[in-house]
Amino acid sequence: MAQNEYTVEERSFRTEADYRKALRDKETIDRLRRESAGYTGAELQQLRDDVHNGKYKFYTLLGQDFEDELSERIKQTGQAGGRGRAGREKGKPDSRAGRTDRKLTGKKQGQPAAAMQVSEEAVQAELLSQERRRKWTVLVCAAVALVCLGYFAVYLYYYQRTERDYNRLAALKEKAPIASAGEQSGTDVLIHYTEEGEREIPEVLDEYKNLVIKNKRLIGWVKIDDTNIDYPVMQTTNNEYYLDHNLNQEYDKNGSIFMDKDCDVLKPSTNLILYGHHMKSGKMFGGLDKYSNEEYYKKHKYIDFDTIYEKGIYEIMYVFRSRVYSAEEVVFKYYQFIDAVSEAEFDSNMSEMAAISLYDTGVTASYGDRLLTLSTCDYQEKNGRFVVVAKKVSEKE
């Protein structure tokens, strides 16, 4: 539509949307003009008050113009001595209507012209305001995009670094040890133990000797066939450390798989508890919650877990959801079950796990069996945890 077509009652409008609003206002005004053609001064006054008080909805300045027009007609009615419909001949048009028509088709004077200038300034001010808001929106969106790109870049860096380090470690397992067993045993390996006194330390398995040389906090390796879980397991005296550090003691939001600080592979503890993040990428223990599906369990019943001193195969018994409880809550806390000092205590813990297990695997354990627990975050509730418990069924060759 051409620019000169955006004109209604000698008012110009900048957009087609405003033009359509003006046409709607003109329809209302034309109707009110027809209805008020023979109004007395009092009736016109009432109509003007109704317009002023919003009885009739107008979307453009044509409404203000019409209110001004009514004021002019009221003045003219007073000057003519208050003639109304009773003083006109039937069928003869009112001379005021003619004056009104001539006024509407001519150029507006006085207040309407000033109103047009004020309207133009208001439009310009609004356009400037919109432009400022648009620029700020662009700047904010650009800043958010840069932050997101930065986050993604950092995440990708950590992800690639972690993959590279784990691949190197896996390759080291396959290499012949570069040091003798005597060099690998001794107090240097005991950084993850808290007990004092003499104890007999077995020789580190050949496939882990090179890895222990690289990092003496290594305590084992966990693997589940046909899954992403295939990681070294670390242990230190602080359960918080490996939440955000990798096996090279570098900051890493992926953290590492680590064993609870109170577990002892030499005693050994009744239950060895391993922790790992539930990464959305599926890394670490990100895929552990797939065990909520019983069909998945049936295809992945066994966990390979080696300490640096012995190999083991564990069969899954229980799969359940839990959470970290406050110290005051008297409830079964799976993460406190590390050593059972009696058969009754062991059986009690087994009963608690069986009661909350998502399904019955048919696998049970007896006092004296050695257990392995894998624990990760579960986002179904605050401080939620997803847990898989298995018992040792054989030594690997």
151 versus 25: which is more confidently predicted? 25
Residues 17 and 101 placed together within one structural domain of the fold: yes
58, 88, 108 - which closes a domain: 108
Beta bridge partners of 222: 231, 305
Domain contains 90: yes
The neighbouring-strand residues paired with 272 are 372
- Dump pLDDT digits (tens) for 116-153: 556 677 777 778 888 888 889 988 988 888 888 786 67
For residues 334-362, b (16+ Cβ closer than 10 Å) or e, as one string?
A: bbebbebeeeeebeebbebbeeebeeebe
141 within some domain: no
Domain membership flag for residue 46: yes
* Residue-level pLDDT at 247: 86
Tens-digit pLDDT profile for residues 223-238: 999 999 999 999 999 9
Query: Same domain for 96 and 197?
Result: no
Q: Can you spell out the DSSP letters for 321-387? A: EEEPPPTT--S--GGG-S--SSHHHHHHHHHHHHHH-SS--S----TT--EEEEEEEETTSTTEEEE
Q: Which two tokens stand for residue 100?
A: 């009104």
User: Containing domain of residue 236, as a range?
Assistant: 175-394
**Mean of pLDDT values over 164-174:** 68
Q: Tell me what percent of the residues of the chain surpass a pLDDT of 90.
A: 51
pLDDT above 50 (res 106):
no
* CA–CA distance, 137 with 141 (Å, rounded to integer): 6
**pTM value?**
0.59
* Same-domain pairing of 213 and 316: yes
Q: Are residues 384 and 264 in the same domain?
A: yes
In a domain, 27, yes or no: yes
Per-residue model confidence (pLDDT) at position 314: 97
Average pLDDT, the chain: 83
270-327 pLDDT per residue, tens: 999 999 999 988 889 999 999 999 999 999 999 999 999 999 999 999 999 999 999 9
Pairing between β-strand 271-275 and β-strand 371-378 as defined by DSSP bridges: parallel
Using DSSP's 3-state secondary structure scheme, residue 77 falls into: helix
CA 139/CA 145 separation, integer angstroms: 10
Identify the pLDDT of residue 155.
63
Q: Are residues 192 and 69 in the same domain?
A: no
* Residue with more model confidence, 109 or 175: 175
| Predicted pLDDT of residue 335 | 96
7-8 and 371-378 strand pairing? unpaired
What's the rounded mean pLDDT across residues 341-351?
96
Tally of domains within the chain? 2
pLDDT of 109 higher than 60: no
In this prediction, residue 86 carries a pLDDT of 42
Give dist(CA 258, CA 265) in Å, integer. Answer: 13
Has residue 47 been placed in a domain? yes
End of a domain among 108, 134, 155? 108
Single residue among 67, 87, 108 that ends a domain in this structure:
108
